[in-house]
Amino acid sequence: MKNICVLVSGGGTNLQALIDAEKRGEIQGGKITCVIASKADAYALERAKNNGIRTRVLVRKDYADVAEYSRAMRDALLEEKADLIVYAGFMTILDEQVCDAFPNRMINVHPALIPSFCGKGFYGLHVHEAALAKGVKVSGATVHFVTAECDAGPIILQKAVEVQEGDTPETLQRRIMEQAEWKILPQAVSLFCQDKITVENGVTRVTI
């Protein structure tokens, strides 16, 4: 059984999707063993506690710089014996110390079809504001491995979602969560835990 550590910063609806999938027996070969938040008031922590999952809080401003924060996060993840680390709405920058310690063992869900609307500054509602400003007719979500470069790691799963006339960033965000993120994140986690994802030359191969 692989130990899954989930990193969160906010509401935690993606964490909830993972918890619900695990309860339905859809995370084969893995178990959520710890949730680590970058904010003490992240509602995601309540979701973890309500489901008996251990929580930890590592607040960025308690550390001098990104390097010190990253070292603390790496050490916490090593202590937790994490086999898989999932960024589920985790909004704090970590440096290469963390992904070097867990190569191809960290995954992130991003609320757009990478390589569109991704990279520095594209997070949360900003992603959907940018997609609407560009007038794209289709957006979606991507689950990918985390590397030192923001949103640039190997893509595992993607799902497209239609943009509708009159969409606001909030309505588009909700549709993308419901139709894409909450589905492909648990799927990717389950595939990982069953060793069904391989990476070669920056490209993944998924055996379903």
Binding positions for ligand GAR, rule: CB under 6 A = 10-14, 44, 88-89, 109-111, 123-124, 127, 177, 181
Question: 30 or 111, CB closer to ligand GAR?
Answer: 111
CB of 85 to ligand GAR, least distance (A): 14
- Do 193 and 186 form a contact (C-beta atoms < 8 A)? no
Is residue 144 part of the annotated active site? The answer reads no
Question: 83 or 181, CB closer to ligand GAR?
Answer: 181
CA distance 197 to 206: 5
CB of 208 to ligand GAR, least distance (A): 23
User: Which of 110, 126, 128, 144 is labelled catalytic?
Assistant: 110
How crowded is the C-beta side of 131, counted as CA atoms within 13 Å?
34
Angle at 143 between CA 137 and CA 144, to 5 degrees: 120
Q: Which two tokens mark 193?
A: 């835990």
Question: 17 or 197, CB closer to ligand GAR?
Answer: 17
CB atoms within 10 A of CB 3: 17
* Residues known to be catalytic: 110
